Amino acid sequence: MRHHGEYKVVGGKLVIADLLSDGSGIAEASINGDFFLEPDEALEDINRALVGLPTDASHSTIRDAVAANLREGAVMFGFDAEAVARVVRRALGHATGWADHDWEIIGPQAIPITEQVALDEVLAREVAAGNRKPTIRFWDWDERAVVIGSFQSLANEVDAQAAERHGVQVVRRISGGGAMFMEAGNCITYSLYAPDSLVDGMSFADSYPFLDAWVMDALTRMGVQAYYKPLNDIATAEGKIGGAAQKRLARGGLLHHVTMSYDIDAQKMVDVLRIGREKLSDKGIASAVKRVDPLKSQTRLERAEVINIMMQTFTERYGATPGAVGEDTRAAARTLADSKFSTDEWTARVP
């Protein structure tokens, strides 16, 4: 049986795998693309490393075989053993690319923050179970909130008295990462729900820029030259504009979400977030504004227009069609919000 797979390395080159398999595994292999490799004979090393591997070989097995079989002094430009493993897994049907999925896109709808984080879990599980197409959803909300990461200490991150004084609700999400300070209209948040085959073999560090390549394109269209600052910050030359978080579910689902600052009240943020005080204690509030660097000042666009350009970009790149949150899904999110995300037990699970 013949197999074909393609993978474009983020910031690198296109790698293609053409394989022939038989009952015992990979019988023939041809890795090709617009990458650079020295010496030329090293390509034979890569192809030989693949022959004989089982068709269900793991990403790490393929990667290690390629790395071990390369001759001394061989240099790979624009790709690496990880990329070869990824494209081989794609060719064999174990890993997927964006084009392998029918995407849906859901525009912003104002719902309570507790339901937002609950909906993230519900939608990710629906995609993992095959009951929903891979989806991207943009958030909207009316209240003030801090959404903390799954493993953050509530007491260390949030000043409870300041939160109460400012009317800020504290909610914990299921993904890791840092705290998000959210008021109506002050930031842009989206969540991506996909099968974990989309990031097969990828580390978290590699998957962040891969999953957000489209939003870098959207920002470029708005005149913003952004880049990923490891591990999970999105930044420009003028400072940080956002951050990403991710959760890979045990049953094969992926939740990836991003929050970008649009028009942050830096004084209020520093009042409520303790970690913000520590980081900015010797810099003053003016530096806080510079550090958060709202999208409003860089794009000169209204928030709704920024979201619209992002949605257009995703739709054009991946052929997404409009989707919706059905009433059954919304009801499941409300139930989960009441039983989990609105409870002190969950919010203070790391005191």
Q: Is the pTM of this model over 0.85?
A: yes
Judged against a pLDDT cut of 90, whether residue 17 lies above it is answered with yes
pLDDT of residue 347 exceeding 90: yes
Tens-digit pLDDT profile for residues 157-174? 999 999 999 999 999 999
Closest CA to 27 of 57, 54, 66, 59: 54
Q: What is the CATH number of domain 99-347?
A: 3.30.930.10
Average pLDDT score, the chain = 94
Query: Token digits for 166?
Result: 């400012």
Confidence check: pLDDT of 282 > 50: no
Portions of the chain given CATH number 3.30.930.10: 99-347
Other beta carbons less than 10 A from residue 267's beta carbon: 11
Q: Peptide bond before 134: cis, by omega within 30 degrees of 0?
A: no
Q: Where in the sequence of the chain do the CATH 3.30.390.50 domains occur?
A: 2-95
Q: What is the pLDDT of residue 278?
A: 56
Euclidean distance between CA atoms 302 and 307, whole angstroms: 9
Residue 273 CA to its chain's centroid (Å): 24
Q: One-letter amino acid identity for 132?
A: R
For residue 23, the model assigns a pLDDT of: 86
Identify the residue whose tokens are 């989309």.
Answer: 198
- pLDDT for residue 275 is more than 80: no
In terms of pLDDT, which residue wins out, 204 or 103?
103
| pLDDT of the residue at 102 | 98
Amino acid sitting at position 269: M
Q: Indicate the range of 59-63, 137-141, 208-212, 294-298 predicted with least confidence.
A: 294-298
Q: Which of 204, 14, 197, 1 is nearest to 90 (CA)?
A: 197
Q: For 2-95, give the CATH class.
A: alpha beta
pLDDT of 279 reads 55
pLDDT at residue 281 above 70? no
Taking only the tens place, the pLDDT of each residue in 283-341 is: 444 554 444 568 999 999 999 999 999 999 999 999 999 999 999 999 999 999 999 99
Cα separations in angstroms, 347 against 148, 174, 211, 340: 9, 11, 28, 8
Structure tokens at 244: 């990403």
**Spatial distance between the Cα atoms of 237 and 317, rounded to a whole number of angstroms:** 26
Per-residue model confidence as pLDDT tens digits over 219-268: 999 999 999 999 999 999 988 899 999 999 988 999 999 999 999 888 89
